[in-house]
Amino acid sequence: MAQKAQQVSGAGCRLGGFSQLAELPEEALAELDSICRVRTYPAGKIIAGPDEEADFIGCVHDGILRMQKTLYDGRVAIVGLLVEGDMFGRVFERPMSVSIEAATDVEVCAFNRSRFEKLLMQYPELDRMLLLNILNELDRARDWMMILSNQRVRGRVAGFLLILCTRFATVDHFLRLREGKLIVKVPIGRTDLAHLLGTRTESLSRAFHALADDGLIDIEKPDLIAIRDLDALAAEAGEDDLSSFLSLNDLMKVLKARDA
C-alpha cells in the first residue's frame, strides 16, 4: 500500500503510507495528494488554535503534536497527543475547541480546507474514513479519561505506558523489542506528561521510580522505559480493555513482524 501511495505522490507527500488513508481509492488519494502541502514546524510552535485562522486540515507525517487547552491562569491541560498518521483540523466551519502545538519538531501534510471538503462530498469513502477517524479519537479520549480517573499517580503512569504500548505500537519508533523486553520511548517530557496526567513532575518521577522499585519497569533513561511485567502494569492501571484487546503475545508478534 505504501508503494501505491508513493506512485501517486507528486509532492513528496507520502499519504497512505500510514493511517486509514491507505484504503482509499487511488483517484481520491491522487486528488488528496494534489492539494497537499508539506509543512514543518519547530518544537513549541503553535500550529492551530481557536484564534489562529490557519484554515487547513492536517495529517501528521512525523513528530508529535499535543492537543491542549489553555486555562485563563496560563496553565495548560493536554487532552491528547497526535502521532504519525493522525489527522486534525476544523471541518465544517466548526470552531476548534483545542489548540494544537508541536511537542517535537514535526512535519505535517496540510490540505486546504474548502478543497478538502469538496473531496469529502465527492468521495463517500473519504467521508466515512473521516468519520471512523473521529470515532477513533473519541475512543482515545475515553481511554485518557479512564486513565485520569485513576486516583493514584502510579496507576495513571501505568495506564499511560499501556496506551503507549497499544495505540502507538504500530506506528513509529516508540516501541522496540530488546532481549525479550519491551522498550518504550516516552515521546514527551515530564512537564507535558504531568499536564496530561493531571499531576506534577515530582509526583511523576516518584511514580516512575516506585514502579521501577517494584520491578514492573526499568528506567533506562528518563524517556526510555523497559517494561518487565506488562500484566502487572495493567493490574496497576486497572485497565481491562487494553490487556484484553492486545495481549503481551500479540504485541510480541507485532514487534517481531516489524523488526524482521
Binding site residues, DNA, CB under 7 A: 151-154, 189-191, 198-209, 219, 221-223
Residue 145 interacting entry, from a copy of itself, DNA, none, C-beta within 5 to 8 Å by type? a copy of itself
Q: Is 239 in the site for a copy of itself (CB under 8 A)?
A: yes
Q: Is 92 in the site for a copy of itself (CB under 8 A)?
A: yes
Q: Is 146 in the site for a copy of itself (CB under 8 A)?
A: yes
Q: Is 141 in the site for a copy of itself (CB under 8 A)?
A: yes
Residue 117 interacting entry, from DNA, a copy of itself, none, C-beta within 5 to 8 Å by type? none
Q: Tell me whether residue 65 is exposed, middle or buried, using C-beta atoms within 10 angstroms of its C-beta: 0 to 12, 13 to 18, 19 or more.
A: buried
Considering only the stretches 2-10, 39-47, 75-83, 208-216, report the one whose residues sit in contact with a copy of itself under the rule CB under 8 A: 75-83
Q: How far apart are CA 113 and CA 90, in angstroms?
A: 8
Quick count: other Cβ atoms within 10 Å of Cβ 75? Answer: 9
Considering only the stretches 20-28, 81-89, 194-202, 251-259, report the one whose residues sit in contact with a copy of itself under the rule CB under 8 A: 194-202
Classify the C-alpha dihedral 257-223-154-66 as positive or negative. negative
Task: Identify which of residues 96 and 252 has a Cβ nearer to a copy of itself in the complex.
Answer: 96
Q: Are 20 and 29 in contact (CB under 8 A)?
A: no
Q: How far apart are CA 103 and CA 171, in angstroms?
A: 17
Give the residue carrying C-alpha cell 512537564: 191
Q: From the CB of 199, what's the least distance to DNA, in Å?
A: 4
Q: From the CB of 166, what's the least distance to a copy of itself, in Å?
A: 13
Cβ neighbours of residue 151 under 8 Å, at least 6 residues apart? none
Q: Among 41, 144, 160, 174, indicate the residue that binds a copy of itself (CB under 8 A).
A: 144
Quick count: other Cβ atoms within 10 Å of Cβ 53? Answer: 6
The residue type found at 226 is A
Residue 97 interacting entry, from DNA, a copy of itself, none, C-beta within 5 to 8 Å by type? a copy of itself
Q: Are 112 and 119 in contact (CB under 8 A)?
A: no
Q: How far apart are CA 125 and CA 17, in angstroms?
A: 17
**Residue 45 belongs to what H/E stretch?**
none
Q: Is 138 in the site for a copy of itself (CB under 8 A)?
A: yes
Contact footprint for a copy of itself (CB under 8 A): 67, 69-73, 75, 77-80, 91-92, 94, 97-98, 121, 124, 127-128, 130-132, 134-135, 137-139, 141-142, 144-146, 148-151, 195-200, 234-235, 238-241, 243-244
